Structure formats: C-alpha cells, structure tokens
Structure 1
Amino acid sequence: MAVNRPGFFFDYDVDSDGSLSKPIWADGIARRNYSVFGDAVSFDPTYSTNKYDMAFTPFTGVNHHKRSVTFCGALVAHEDADSFKWVFSRSLAAMGGKEPKYIITDQDPGILKAVPLVFKTARHRYYIKATEFDAKWEEIGREHTVNNIDWFKEMYAKRKHWVMAHCRDLEMGGVMWTTQRSESENSFFKRFESKSGTLVEFLLRFDSAMDQQRHTQKKLDNGNIHTSPKISTHLAIEVHGAQVYSHKVFEEFQEEVKYSIDTCKSRGFSEADSLEVTTLRDANRDRNYQIHLKQLVAAECFKGKALYAGIWCKDAIHTKMFDCNGEEAADVDIIDGKQIAMSVMWSEIH
C-alpha cells in the first residue's frame, strides 16, 4: 500500500495472542495537512466501527476553510492508557515528531494518563467554559459553600486544561473549544461505517470518506481562486482581507470589520509615558478599552488575534511534504478524478 502512495505511514501492534490490536495510518496528504494545520488537534475515540468491536480514533484539525480535516486514523481494541500511549507516540512518528500546540480530548482516564507521557510541549485541554471565569468560580464557591470540596478545588487547579479564558496565550487556542469538532468528524465517518464489516471493508470506506473530504477542500480551494467575496465597506483593510483570506475566514474577518464600524467609537486621544492613548467605546458591550498606540501596535494586535483564532491565508496549503525517508513527495496531492467521482457517488447512496 505504501509503495503506491507517496508519503504513506503505517504501523501496528498485536496482543499477546498475535491478534491485531492497534493499527495506525496516515497518507501523504494527511501528513501534509498536519504540517500546515496541525497546531490544534482533537482526539476522540467515541464509537466501535467493525465486527471486531475496535474503536476508531481519528486525529482531527481545522483547515483554512474552517472545516474538519483528518490528520491520522487509528483503531484500538482496548481503550486503556497503554493503547492510547502507543497511538499517541506513533501519531507523532507519522508527523515527523512535531507536537501540536494543544490537543483536546474528553476526560477518559486512559487518555488523561497517556497524554503527558507522550506530549511534552503540547497543552492538553478537555472542556471550555465562558470568559470571566475566575470571578464567577469564586462567586459560585461562596454562594454554595463548596470552595473546600476536593473536587471543586481540583477542577479549579486544572482550569488551564478546560477554561477558554486561560488559553488566550495559546497559539490556535480559539480554533477548537470542545470535542465538538471530533464529534462532528465522527458523524461524518459514520456515514461510511458498517459495524458488521471487516477491517478491509472499513479501510475502503475510510478511503471513500477521505476522498470526499478532500474533494470538498479542492472545490473550496478552486472557489477561492476563481471567485471573489462581496465587499461591504470598501475600506482598504477589508479589500486586502478579501485578497488574502479564504472565503470562510474572510466572512468572519468581514464581520469584525463591520462590527467595529457600527459599534466602536474613539472617545479622544491623550498621551501617557510618551505613548499616544485612545479610549475606544464598544457600545454594544457597554465597555471602554484603552489602547496604547505605538509603532506596529495594530499589526502586533492583529497577529495575536490571528494566531489565537486560526486565521489562515487562502494559499496556506501550498507547502512541501516529505515521505518517511525524508525525501520530498511531489505528488502527494494528486487524487485521481475518477476515484473522486466514485467516492462522491458512494457517499450519496449510503
């Protein structure tokens, strides 16, 4: 299989009786996607997918169209810490040892134990609540007299794993807030599953699902090249955004521009510590913001927002990919047109 598919990675492990327990795989396109979009990864083993009752455990991210993209697939016969540790370590091998900025999972005990054994730099997150967290948490604790309860204290101590307000410093921290991304991806793959099927049938169905996912991405890429989004304000910053962002990202960017025009007003300028200071009034949120202006401050602020929210340019995917031997795989993005058409037809009748 790997011989005919440039950049293909595959590994497996067996139980003591020789039965297959943990296969894992990632082709060249998936690995290339990870090299671009792999800062934020969701992992969620939620359902069994074949007659051997093995759990399907995809690694999922978000691409430049704000759509799910699959980096790696694995099956596990035993959902325990040792199995997850093996899967995590082999997924890193498939991706050249590059850790994500963060990985989001559920609170399965085996996963919670395995993550820190493999990921040394990635931040682990598993649930998200609203902002203004600390004050609300303290208020709830006082109101219900639960501040001294062990569970309550433990969850607060782990807040960097699950509270969005404590992830603002994390690049790509705003891309995925819960395991909803993985749950959505699992719903997508379920359209191709057969719980009575063999492993071979599952892999064929998996390939069909991947072909459809990539066909959609190529269709959106083509739309970015040959169509232009509608400009609403004609401000230079909006015009530039339409030129560099994918259509989906531009929609979100455009809403920010329109919101700032409609609701944010400057209330004058002053000087403090040799810096120009302006007070910005957000009428909708009933808040004032003090902005300290210095050279390149706007660029730096937007850069921070872009890194947190996952704002990619429309040509983000145009990068090199290398095979398992470290050699450039020039044709990993080639998908046969007939294969795509068959895959789309397959998905429509199932």
Structure 2
Amino acid sequence: MIVTDQDMGMRSAIEEVLVDMRHRWCMWHIMHKLATKVLNRLLRDEDFKKEFNACVWSDLLEPDEFEEEWKRVVESHGLEDFDWFNTLYEYRHFWIPAYFKDFPLGSMIRTTSILESENSFYKRFLKPRANIAKFYLNFNHAVEFQRNSRTALDYHDATVLPILATTLPFEKHASTLYTDTMFKRIQKEIVEGNDRCRVLGFSSTKFVDTYKLGDSNRKSNNELKKIPDKYCQSRWMKTPLAKAVHGEFHDDFPTRSVVDDRQTLSKQGISMFYGFLRRFEGDIELLRAFVGGVEELGNSGNPTTSAAEKR
C-alpha cells in the first residue's frame, strides 16, 4: 500500500512502475480541501457534515451501498454540478474504504496518521528551543518511557487472566493468544455473535457467523474449538510481541534523590528480568535454571553470595 495526495502524475507513475502496489489517496488531503470546494452555507450545515462524513469514512458500506449513499447526499444538497465532487466520485476506488475491504488498512487511511502520533508523543519530552545536548537527553528519556511502557504491557499480558464472557471454547482460546487490548475487542464481537445465534435459535456452542472463519478446527457438527491459524497474526499476539531493536541506554548522570535511584533501579530490574525471559524462552533447560535461581534468591531473603555464585 502506498498513500499519496491527488497528484495525477504520481498516480500514473505508480500504475506504470509499482505494478504490484495498492495506491490510495490520503483522506486528510481530501477532507482538508472540502472547506474550499463547498458553499459557506454547507460548511455551517451540521446535517451535511454528518451525512458526508458517514458516507466517505465508513468501512461498513459495500461499494454499491456507498454509491447509493453518495448520490443521495450529492442530490439532497445540490452538488451535482460541482466538478470537484464529480471527480472524486470518478476516482472513488482510490480513497473510499468500501473499495479496500480486501486490504488491511491499519493506519493507512491518512498520510498524517503516523506523523500526528509521533508529534503528540515526542512534544511531551522535547522543547523547540532546546540545544543539541538537551535534545539528546530528552529524546533518550522519551525512548526510555516507551520501553518501560512496553515492559509494563508485557507484564500485564503475561500475568492478567481475562474474564470470559461466554462458555465458548474459541473465546477461551482467543484469551490465550491475543494481547489484553485486542482480546477485549474480539470478545465484544464474540458476545454479539453469540447473542445473535441465540436469537436465531442456534446453540451457543455452534459456529458464530460473525467471524466468517474458514473450515479449519471445525468438527462435523460445525462446532469451532480454536481460532484458525490464519487469524493469529503476530502483531496482536501476546507472544512473540514485536520488540524494538535498540541498544541499552545507561544514564551516567547522578540522580537527585533516593526515590529517583529506587525507581531507576526498579525499572532496570524489570527490564533485565524480561530480557532474560526472552533470551531463555527458546531453551527449556536454561529457562528452568533461571526460574529456579530466581526462586532460590527469593527464598533466601537478603542473600550474601560469592562472585562465583553471582556469575
């Protein structure tokens, strides 16, 4: 997928050179131009803005449903003779979500999505008039904050047991696969599908049509026990989670208080602990030795060990 503005020369070049690339127009650029293309009375018309946004932003509409809704909005607000709207409709397959249902868009609706997210995060740490030394220190603080947040989320996903809303086997299976945030979204769909099956008179243990899943892992009675492998994408799984490739950052500057020292050491300890877990998870013997050593350390209170034992 490649996202650009509405430059026709770029569109032609992409079609000729990047033949295997899906091309999409940036929604932000299109909606930004809307204010200069419609009459002022429409810009003040809340009904028009709600109807237009519902038409062009919805990923629930099918292509024929979008085309019908677009024509209704254009005709009801007298926009049939506006060339800009006619051009947008002619190239609707470049920017309307209904024509990208076969492609996982993620954050690719707007070119500004990732940039806005980065700006929103880093401006909490960086100052526009900071010199290069302050920029370097503040940037490292921002990166350390991201690493600590990821570590906390890893710990949450590794220790928290989700509360199941149904007795369906594939809900329990999903709770063991997906991160806590993603599982809550999937669980909501499972509950809605389960309720729909009950309304239609089907057993709650039968296959839920909401997912439109394949035939894998089904029994002869159409019962689904596990989430099919093709829906187990690594981006949303508890393990292995995507890990940033980075070196260790050592803060050589003295901290101002004992509380700061304690927090720094605590964060360092958590980071080291999960780092060792990730290193040893592929070797069961090393993992057993690591867990045994941690358990022994915990049972011994404040141990005094020799250099050899520490190694």
Per the alignment, residue 75 of structure 2 pairs with: 142
Q: Deviations over 1:52-76 (max 9, x none)?
A: xxxxxxxxxxxxxxxxxxxxxxxxx
Residue 214 of structure 1 aligns to which amino acid in structure 2? Answer: R
Question: Is the partner of 2:24 in helix, strand or coil?
Answer: strand
C-alpha distance in 2 between matches for 1:164 and 1:212: 35
Question: Displacement of 1:164 after TM fit?
Answer: 2.0
Q: Deviations over 1:250-301 (max 9, x none)?
A: 11111111111223447489xxxxxxxx997x9xxxxxx9x7x9744989x9
Residue 57 of structure 2 aligns to which amino acid in structure 1? Answer: K
Using the size of structure 1 for normalisation, the TM-score is 0.46
Larger radius of gyration: 2
- Is contact 2:57–2:97 with CA below 8 Å preserved after alignment? yes
C-alpha distance in 2 between matches for 1:211 and 1:259: 40
* TM-aligned CA distance change 1:279 to 1:317, over 3 Å: closer
Per the alignment, residue 154 of structure 1 pairs with: 87
* TM-aligned CA distance change 1:302 to 1:224, over 3 Å: same
Q: Which has the higher contact order (CA 8 A, sep 6+)?
A: 1
- Is contact 2:125–2:138 with CA below 8 Å preserved after alignment? yes
Per the alignment, residue 238 of structure 1 pairs with: 171
- Equivalent of residue 238 in structure 2, options 288, 311, 314: 314
Question: Displacement of 1:317 after TM fit?
Answer: 3.0
Per the alignment, residue 187 of structure 1 pairs with: 120
C-alpha distance in 2 between matches for 1:235 and 1:265: 13
C-alpha distance in 2 between matches for 1:162 and 1:241: 33
Question: Is the partner of 1:195 in helix, strand or coil?
Answer: coil
Residue ranges of structure 1 left out of the alignment (5+ in a row): 1-100, 270-277, 283-288, 322-331, 346-350
Question: Is the partner of 1:205 in helix, strand or coil?
Answer: helix
The 5 A counterparts of 1:200-219 are: 201-219=134-152
Question: Displacement of 1:145 after TM fit?
Answer: 4.2
Question: Is the partner of 1:146 in helix, strand or coil?
Answer: coil
Residue ranges of structure 2 left out of the alignment (5+ in a row): 28-55, 219-223, 261-311
Per the alignment, residue 256 of structure 1 pairs with: 189
Residue 237 of structure 2 aligns to which amino acid in structure 1? Answer: C
- Equivalent of residue 124 in structure 1, options 24, 39, 56: 24
Larger strand percent: 1
Matched pairs, number: 208
- Identity percentage of aligned residues: 25
Larger helix percent: 2
- Is contact 1:268–1:279 with CA below 8 Å preserved after alignment? no
